[in-house]
Every structure is written in structure tokens, then in C-alpha cells.
């Protein structure tokens, strides 16, 4: 992409309403613009990152066996009246009336919709387990939308919902998601941590929050130092170690000594939850059990799932990832004084090509060749071919955080060389143009 043809409205100053670094940098780097309080437009650079985050999530969810669906953003009030949450949910739910005066709402979450789909289309225990997910917009009318995308009103979420025959099977699904979440965040070049979370009124102990470690994180988390030394990511081992969200950690009751405890800041980017038969029962979503393996007939109880006359209410779980919040969290965890420092896996471009003297015949020719050849090899290059000052070009490349900069100046180009700078370390080296074209040294 040539910068002269791109849409990258960068800013030198921090916007006054932005108090956290991810919000400041996303606006300054021309990734987003606020359209209304807590509601944002994604500009091309921001959208590229969002799509990369989405793709990693999608690939790992697919690998786990989950199936992608797409539910509507608008939902009928009736479904929520059935589950009993219509009145309970409170003001975060955006309630709307359509032209026929019917109550509808913009979905803050989708347990009711998916349970309705399930009960109308799944009839036999043989169809279980099922895990259905979507990546879609949610609206929550947060009382205080703040910190840009960290707490927006409209935000992108990956939400999945699982249906299992019993508690044992549900726990397996839960653990598979736990493992999948680690894979997802590590693939993004981020440092995830799973902590036990409050299960609130529903009870049970199956709930974990996933946090990205960042000094600027909103939440305090506490965990056994052994976590940092783990080589393999064995679910049972990880879950056996002490790791608690703030509200779950009570210093006096902590089973491990303080010297063994890490206390860090984190940003909650995911939440996994098993809630048993809460929705399957309240919304009467059942499947037929296996009659033949049921010598006692209708009185048989399958562990964890209530059965009435061979009807089984599936054991359910839900698993969320704040996709748009992940983009902000990645910046909170990866930035410096000059701007964003993208992990390579989610960087909008891999290479920022800087023409030190646009208009100079040799510089233009070398840049054009590098740009064309690398692009043809599938490398995403943002080429600063503008007439901006060199200082501005460097500042922009640093601000938007592209991992590798290739700097083409008249002197070195005449000697068949360019400069390659690593955004993260700041290290620079001279590299032959031929090596660049064959990607030997970048
Ligand atoms: P929080 O505790 O931050 O309010 P939550 O517990 O209400 O979040 P969940 O219902 O568990 O959120 O949603 C799943 C994920 O969606 C969260 O882990 C978070 O990453 C993301 N998320 C929730 N609310 C917002 C928001 N207002 N803006 C951006 N992302 C959000
Ligand atoms: Mg949560």
C-alpha cells in the first residue's frame, strides 16, 4: 500500500478525551475515530489489525471443533422474558420498539438466541456435544464508556456456546476452550493469564477470566509464580496452580506464601463460563436420551443434567473474547514513547518502506522495486512515498508500529544498500538490496 493513496489520518497530539495509552495511540495512529460516546468507526489501518485478530480466533476455534454461525444483532424481547433476564439485565440493554410497537433489543449477549436455535433443531443426545460460535457486534449501554475500545458500548465479541450431555462432557469442552484460549492469545504474540473468576449467583467453580498482562491493566490478578516457569501448557497442571481475579483473592486465605505469589495488572480479554442447565431448563431446551442404555427408564439421572422422562437438559457453557478490546490490550502491552510496537502476528503491515528522498530518481526506483517485489511475494508493505519531511516519515512509521522499517536513502542506495530498522529494539543494520528482494535478511 502506498501511503499517498492510503487513508491514514495521524495526529501529533493526544486527543484530550483519551486517558489511556491504547486509546491515545489508536486515535493518533489513525486506526479509529469516535462516532458517538463508546461507539467507534474503524479506519483502514485499525480494521486490518481487527481482521487479523479475528482470523486467529476463527482458525483456533475451528480447530477446536467449534462451528461458526452468525446470529442477528437485534433480538425479540420474548426470548429474554422466557429466560427471565429481560427485567434482570438492567439498563445496559438497549431496548427498542419497532413500528408495530413490539419490544426488541440490541443483543448484549446471545445465550437466549442460541438456546432457541438449539431447542428447535436438536432433538437427540446423539447430536451432542455441539459448540457454536460467532464473531459479531454487541451493544451494552455502559454507564461510563471509557478508555476507547477497552470499554465501548458497541464492541466486537467472539462468543461461543456449548451443549453437552452431562457434566463430565461439559468439563471436557470447558477445558478444550481453556486450552484454545491460551493458543489464541499466544499466537497473537501476547502474554495471557487465566485466573479463576467469580461465578456469582449461579455457583460452581467453572469460570476463568483471561487477562493480557500489561502494567496499565484495569484489573489486579494474583497467581503462583510457577505459572511463569511452565514449559508445557497442560490444562490440568495450569488449573491446579493458584490464580485468582482480584475479587476472588483474599490475602489471609491464600494457600501459597506471599513469596511465591505474583501480583500483576491485567486486561480482561476473555471469559469462559459453565452454567450447567440454567438456560436449557428455563427455556425448555432438551434432547431425547438413549432409552436402551437406561434400564430404570425415566428415573435415570445423568450426572449433572436433569432428566425428566428420558428428556435431558444439556449442560451449557459460554465463552467470550472481547475482539476489539484485544486490539487495545495488545497496544497497552506493546508500545513505547514513540508509538505502537505491534507483535508481528497482528501487525497491520510487516514492513514500513521509507523513501528518504521522494522524487530522487534512484530512491524512487529502488523503493518501487522493493515495494513491487515484496508485495508480489505476499509481504504486506506500507510504502511512504509522500513528500513529508524525513522526520515526519520516521515519526509516522514508529507511531503505527510496523515491526520492520526499510529505509532507502540516496547514498546507500547508490552503493546497493538500504537500512533495516527493527521497531522494537531500534537496532539498525545495512542490508544489500538483493537480499531484501529475496527476503534473506528481513
Ligand atoms: P467486564 O467485566 O469487563 O465488564 P463482562 O464480564 O461484562 O466484562 P463478558 O460478558 O464476560 O464481559 O464478555 C466477554 C468479553 O467481552 C470480556 O471478557 C471482555 O473482553 C469483552 N467486553 C465486555 N464488555 C466490553 C465492553 N464494554 N467493551 C469492550 N469489550 C468488552
Ligand atoms: Mg467478564
Q: 107 with 156: CB under 8 angstroms?
A: no
* CA–centroid distance, residue 270 to ligand 2 (Å): 7
pLDDT value of position 203: 57
**Helix, strand, coil tally for the chain in percent (to 5):** 35, 30, 35
Q: Which of 310, 336, 362 finishes a domain?
A: 336
271 CB under 6 A from ligand 1?
A: yes
Q: What is the mean pLDDT of each run of 10 residues along the chain (442 residues)?
A: 98 94 98 97 98 98 98 98 94 97 98 98 96 98 92 97 97 98 97 90 78 92 93 90 92 92 96 94 93 45 56 96 98 97 98 97 97 96 97 98 98 97 97 89 64
Q: 122 with 130: CB under 8 angstroms?
A: yes
| Residues 281 and 423 occupy one common structural domain | no
How many domains are contained in the chain? 2
| Residues 254 and 394 occupy one common structural domain | no
CATH at 426? 3.40.50.800
pLDDT value of position 295: 41
Q: How far apart are CA 126 and CA 108, in angstroms?
A: 31
Strand-pair category, 404-408 with 351-355? parallel
38 CB under 6 A from ligand 1?
A: no
Whether pTM > 0.75 for this model: the answer is yes
Of 160, 436, 430, 171, whose CA–CA distance to 320 is shortest? 160
| Residues 95 and 180 occupy one common structural domain | yes
User: Residue 11 forms beta bridges with which residues?
Assistant: none
269 CB under 6 A from ligand 1?
A: yes
Q: What is the span of the domain harbouring residue 256?
A: 21-336
Q: 316 with 276: CB under 8 angstroms?
A: yes
Q: Considering the domain boundaries, does residue 130 fall inside one?
A: yes
| Residues 261 and 408 occupy one common structural domain | no
Residue to mutate, 320, 326, 328, 330, ligand 1, most ligand atoms under 8 Å from C-beta: 320
Q: Considering the domain boundaries, does residue 5 fall inside one?
A: no
| Residues 172 and 316 occupy one common structural domain | yes
Q: Considering the domain boundaries, does residue 249 fall inside one?
A: yes
pLDDT value of position 38: 96
| Residues 260 and 400 occupy one common structural domain | no
| Residues 230 and 301 occupy one common structural domain | yes
* CA–centroid distance, residue 157 to ligand 2 (Å): 12
| Residues 360 and 422 occupy one common structural domain | yes
Q: 153 with 142: CB under 8 angstroms?
A: yes
| Residues 320 and 377 occupy one common structural domain | no
Q: How far apart are CA 429 and CA 65, in angstroms?
A: 45
| Residues 144 and 120 occupy one common structural domain | yes
* CA–centroid distance, residue 81 to ligand 2 (Å): 23
Q: How far apart are CA 439 and CA 442, in angstroms?
A: 6
* CA–centroid distance, residue 322 to ligand 1 (Å): 6
* CA–centroid distance, residue 322 to ligand 2 (Å): 10
| Residues 144 and 96 occupy one common structural domain | yes
| Residues 273 and 360 occupy one common structural domain | no
CB atoms within 10 A of CB 431: 17
Q: What are the phi and psi torsion angles at 404 (to 5°)?
A: -125, 135
pLDDT value of position 171: 97
Q: Considering the domain boundaries, does residue 442 fall inside one?
A: no
CB atoms within 10 A of CB 310: 17
Contacts of 124 (CB under 8 A, 6+ apart): 287, 288
Q: Considering the domain boundaries, does residue 13 fall inside one?
A: no
CATH at 149? 3.30.930.10
Q: Which of 315, 336, 357 finishes a domain?
A: 336
Q: Which of 311, 336, 361 finishes a domain?
A: 336
Atom of ligand 1 nearest to the CA of 326: 20
Q: How far apart are CA 14 and CA 76, in angstroms?
A: 41
Q: Considering the domain boundaries, does residue 391 fall inside one?
A: yes
Instruction: With H, G, I as helix, E, B as strand and everything else as coil, classify residue 295.
Output: coil
Q: Considering the domain boundaries, does residue 7 fall inside one?
A: no
Hey, whose CA ends up nearest to atom 4 of ligand 1?
151
Q: Considering the domain boundaries, does residue 3 fall inside one?
A: no
pLDDT value of position 297: 36
Amino acid at each position: 500500500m502506498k501511503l499517498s493513496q492510503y487513508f491514514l489520518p495521524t495526529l501529533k497530539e493526544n486527543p484530550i478525551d483519551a486517558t489511556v495509552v491504547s486509546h491515545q495511540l489508536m486515535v493518533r495512529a489513525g486506526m479509529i475515530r469516535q462516532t458517538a460516546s463508546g461507539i467507534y468507526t474503524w479506519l483502514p489501518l485499525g480494521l486490518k489489525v481487527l481482521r487479523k485478530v479475528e482470523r486467529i480466533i476463527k482458525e483456533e476455534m475451528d480447530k477446536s471443533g467449534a462451528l461458526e454461525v452468525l446470529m442477528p444483532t437485534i433480538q425479540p424481547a420474548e426470548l429474554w422474558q422466557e429466560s427471565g433476564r429481560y427485567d434482570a439485565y438492567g439498563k445496559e440493554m438497549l431496548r427498542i420498539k419497532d413500528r408495530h410497537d413490539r419490544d426488541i433489543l440490541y443483543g448484549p449477549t446471545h445465550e437466549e438466541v442460541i438456546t432457541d436455535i438449539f431447542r428447535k433443531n436438536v432433538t437427540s443426545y446423539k447430536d451432542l456435544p455441539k459448540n457454536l460460535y460467532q464473531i459479531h457486534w454487541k451493544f451494552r449501554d455502559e454507564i461510563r464508556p471509557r478508555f476507547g475500545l477497552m470499554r465501548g458500548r458497541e464492541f466486537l465479541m467472539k462468543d461461543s456456546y456449548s451443549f453437552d450431555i452431562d457434566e463430565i462432557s461439559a468439563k471436557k469442552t470447558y477445558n478444550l476452550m481453556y486450552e484454545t484460549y491460551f493458543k489464541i492469545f499466544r499466537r497473537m504474540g501476547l502474554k495471557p493469564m487465566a485466573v479463576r473468576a467469580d461465578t456469582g449467583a449461579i455457583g460452581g467453580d467453572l469460570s476463568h477470566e483471561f487477562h493480557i498482562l500489561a502494567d496499565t491493566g484495569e484489573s489486579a490478578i494474583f497467581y503462583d509464580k510457577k505459572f511463569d516457569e511452565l514449559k508445557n501448557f497442560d490444562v490440568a497442571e495450569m488449573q491446579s496452580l493458584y490464580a485468582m481475579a482480584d475479587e476472588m483473592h483474599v490475602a489471609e486465605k491464600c494457600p501459597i506464601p506471599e513469596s511465591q505469589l505474583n501480583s500483576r495488572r491485567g486486561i480482561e480479554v476473555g471469559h469462559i463460563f459453565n452454567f450447567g442447565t440454567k438456560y436449557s431448563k428455563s427455556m425448555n431446551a432438551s434432547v431425547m436420551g438413549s432409552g436402551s442404555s437406561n434400564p430404570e427408564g425415566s428415573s435415570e439421572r445423568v450426572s449433572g443434567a436433569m432428566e425428566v422422562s428420558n428428556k435431558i437438559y444439556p449442560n451449557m457453557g459460554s465463552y467470550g473474547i472481547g475482539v476489539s478490546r484485544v486490539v487495545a490490550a495488545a497496544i497497552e502491552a506493546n508500545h513505547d514513547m514513540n508509538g505502537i510496537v505491534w507483535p508481528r502476528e497482528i501487525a497491520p503491515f510487516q514492513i514500513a518502506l521509507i523513501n528518504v528522498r521522494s522524487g530522487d530518481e534512484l530512491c524512487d526506483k529502488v523503493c518501487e522495486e522493493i515495494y513491487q517485489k515484496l508485495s508480489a511475494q505476499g509481504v504486506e508493505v506500507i510504502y511512504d512515498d509522500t513528500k513529508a519531511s524525513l522526520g515526519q516519515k520516521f515519526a509516522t512509521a514508529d507511531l503505527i508500529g510496523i515491526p520492520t522499517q526499510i529505509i532507502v536513502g540516496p547514498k546507500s542506495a547508490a552503493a546497493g544498500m538500504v537500512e533495516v530498522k527493527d521497531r522494537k529494539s531500534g537496532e539498525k543494520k545495512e542490508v544489500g538490496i538483493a537480499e531484501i528482494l529475496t527476503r534473506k535478511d528481513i
